[in-house]
Amino acid sequence: MDNNFVALTRCYYCGEPNEIVIDRYLGHSHHGKGVSELQDKVIDMRPCNKCEELMKQGVMLIGIIPSMCDPNWSAPPKDKKQAEGWMPNPYRSGDVVVLKDDAIRRLINDPGMVNYALEKRWIFIDKEVLNMLGINTKKEVA
Ligand SMILES: [Zn+2]
């Protein structure tokens, strides 16, 4: 098959290869881009099978390095159009840790934050915090 018509996208959460996108299936509807431009790109926030499984077991903590992030990375979209397909894109440290719900409740004091994390099943977290907690190992359910 012609490579230009197939792309392997990446998972938003773990960065691993996620889905194979075939042009015939998607046509040119994908944000107006040809399918080859999707190669190695994150195209939506659906977790890959592995992350979906991890999110059932616990909450994924994705390490970021705030000083390396675009200062506006967490700014919410300005309007509806921008909100479409919007994905926060901070600079990641590469650390991904999964904590059980109980551990999240013990770790975070703010009940609003706890609810947010338990509902979303993933959060970004400063790598320094992971270092301080000594849980900066990869993909470990603790
Ligand atoms: Zn994944």
pLDDT at 79: 84
pLDDT at 1: 43
44-87 pLDDT per residue, tens:
899 999 999 999 999 999 999 999 999 888 887 888 877 877 88
Tell me, in angstroms, the distance from the centre of ligand 1 to residue 54's CA.
Answer: 9
Tell me, in angstroms, the distance from the centre of ligand 1 to residue 13's CA.
Answer: 5
pLDDT at 81: 79
Q: What is the pTM of this model?
A: 0.79
Tell me, in angstroms, the distance from the centre of ligand 1 to residue 102's CA.
Answer: 22
Q: Higher pLDDT residue, 112 or 36?
A: 112
Instruction: Please check whether residues 92 and 53 belong to one and the same domain.
Output: yes
Host domain of residue 20: 3-38
CA angle 71, 74, 79 (to 5 degrees): 110
Say whether pLDDT at 27 is over 80. no
- Residue 118 covered by a domain: yes
Mean pLDDT across 107-131? 94
Instruction: Please check whether residues 26 and 57 belong to one and the same domain.
Output: no
Instruction: Please check whether residues 34 and 97 belong to one and the same domain.
Output: no
Give the Cα separation of 58 and 135 in Å (integer): 14
- Residue 19 covered by a domain: yes
Instruction: Please check whether residues 26 and 81 belong to one and the same domain.
Output: no
Q: What percentage of residues in the chain have a pLDDT greater than 70?
A: 85
Say whether pLDDT at 113 is over 90. yes
Q: Higher pLDDT residue, 120 or 25?
A: 120
- Residue 122 covered by a domain: yes
Instruction: Please check whether residues 26 and 77 belong to one and the same domain.
Output: no
- Residue 138 covered by a domain: no
Tell me, in angstroms, the distance from the centre of ligand 1 to residue 46's CA.
Answer: 9
For 142, the token pair is 């603790």
pLDDT at 90: 94
From the centroid of its chain, how far is CA 60? 9
Instruction: Please check whether residues 75 and 24 belong to one and the same domain.
Output: no
Q: Higher pLDDT residue, 3 or 9?
A: 9
Instruction: Please check whether residues 71 and 128 belong to one and the same domain.
Output: yes
End-to-end alpha carbon distance in the chain: 43
From the centroid of its chain, how far is CA 78? 21
Instruction: Please check whether residues 119 and 73 belong to one and the same domain.
Output: yes
- Write the Ramachandran bin of 15: left for phi over 0, alpha for psi from -120 to 50, otherwise beta: left
Say whether pLDDT at 14 is over 80. yes
pLDDT at 2: 46
